[in-house]
Amino acid sequence: MPAQQPKTPSSLPVLGQSIPYDRFLDCVHCGLCTASCPTYVETGNENDGPRGRIYLMRAVVDGRLELTPAVQGHLDSCLDCRSCETACPSGVQYGRLLEPFRVEMQQTPAAKHAADNWFHRWILYGLFPWRNRLRWALLPARLLQKLNLDQLLRRSGLTRLLPAKIHRLHDQLPKLRPSEPPLPDFLPAVGQRRATVGLFIGCVADAMFRHVHWATARVLQQNGCDVVIPRSQTCCGAIHYHTGAAEPAISLMHQNAAAFDTRKLDAVVVNVAGCGSMLKDYGHIAEELHHNSTDPPGSASTNAADFAAKVMDIHEFLMKLGPVRPTGRIDALVAIQDACHLQHAQKIRQQPRELLKMIPGITLKNIAEAELCCGAAGTYNLTQPEMADRLGTRKLDCLLEVKPDVIVSGNAGCSLQLQAHLQIRGLTTAVLHPIELLDLSYRNQPLTPR
């Protein structure tokens, strides 16, 4: 018999209704997850660890605890990195607890009022999820960087006159690569066709890391893949979902599911760990968010689940396909930063290493505390800057300890975080996607300094 969910007194908000109560009971509070939790490691506060947060959520659901600002603060401070899931011997689905609980938590009147501000409205929701808007917004920054005026502004201290969050955005902005043309709708396989894949380009990734998309497309072509890039695809919805905006997340999810004709594709390939994790969870998310949606049962949820079943990270896909061995030599010591939503959420850790080991001349170095988050976590480094900076400093110390020529990361947000912290220290160590190195090797191109 399934466990009965306790009754919540009418005076308290009814939260957790989209979460099967048995999921809370999976946690036996053994504490083996705490050493892998970035916020617990930094604060030592039980409420900032996985079992503490599960206890808080369950207590709110049971009606034993009010959702006070203090309780919400402990839940909001979670990076949702899912490292606790990797460490947990009981198979607790922490992400499937925290994420729907956050969505319901953000529907309370107090939370809605707090999120109704210019930053959420115009930046988080109005700019970031829309790649063309963001690309236009970055034009002034590109011009300032080209004229070397951005460093002058930093040194002068004038940027400190900006609103705190805009100042933070400016500090997080890396040296932008020259803008590349949009990818076409279709790129043919090189040699014998082995597969037909869709390429997900997302929002921030396409606006700021389009060169990685081009590198990914070329690598797929070299491995015998026809590459389809639908124009109607959009943001994966993670920005909205992780901040509790359910309806926009559902809309974006359905748009992406409709954009890719999965019947004609062997896979939908994604090169951003955070996006890949979100896309793979579409089926679960559709079920959890349905009670907030006006869609009839089963109408688009099935399409979302079918789409999710075809999603594969680029490293995962290549190793399953059987990669063509690259021949171009790259003499470099490479430190690997394992993105949380790759190693923990998607359980992909070995595949990037296997691909990089195929490149002649590459020496791979693992780092200490590889399981801990770098502090990027989507928009976390904007909404929780103090903790994000502490974790970013900690992660970069571990990376620099191995004295790398190149740092690689399979996530756009991690790359931005690491580049920002390198910039603070005045260092120019390259931060690349693993696929960029593979692309250079296929094309027999040298690794050039930035």
Going from N- to C-terminal start, the domains of the chain cover 22-113, 118-172, 186-320, 326-442
Integer-rounded Cα Rg, in Å, for the chain is 22
The pLDDT, as a whole number, for residue 287 is 80
81: helix, strand or coil: coil
- The answer regarding whether domain 326-442 maps to CATH 3.40.50.11810 reads yes
- 216-247, pLDDT tens digit by residue? 999 999 999 999 999 999 999 999 988 888 88
Indicate if the pLDDT at residue 153 is higher than 80.
Answer: no
Q: Which CATH number fits domain 186-320: 1.10.3470, 2.40.128, 3.40.50, 1.10.357?
A: 3.40.50
Predicted confidence at residue 1, as pLDDT, reads 40
Distance CA 196, CA 191 (A): 13
Ramachandran region, residue 44 (left: φ > 0; alpha: ψ -120 to 50; beta: rest): left
Fold for domain 22-113?
A: Fumarate Reductase Iron-sulfur Protein; Chain B, domain 2 (1.10.1060)
Percent of the residues in the chain that have a pLDDT greater than 90, as a whole number: 69
What single letter denotes the amino acid at residue 243?
Answer: T
Structure tokens at 333: 């010591």
- CA angle centred on 112, ends 42 and 107, rounded to 5°: 85
* Cα–Cα distance for residue pair 166/156, rounded to 1 Å: 17
> What's the pLDDT at 155?
76
pTM: 0.91
Q: How many residues does the chain have?
A: 450
Instruction: Report whether pLDDT(405) > 80.
Output: yes
Rounded (10°) angle between helices 301-310 and 282-289: 160
Band of residue 300 on the pLDDT scale cut at 50, 70, 90: low
Q: If residue 162 lies in a helix (H) or strand (E), which one and from where to where?
A: none
Give the count of beta carbons closer than 10 Å to the beta carbon of residue 363: 14
Q: Confirm whether 22-113 and 326-442 share one CATH topology.
A: no
- Name the pLDDT band for 9 (thresholds 50, 70, 90): very low
Summary count for the chain: helices (H), strands (E): 26, 9
Minimal CA–CA distance to 33: which of 75, 93, 76?
Answer: 93
Residue 2: what pLDDT?
45
Average pLDDT over residues 12-28: 85
Average pLDDT on 371-388 reads 92
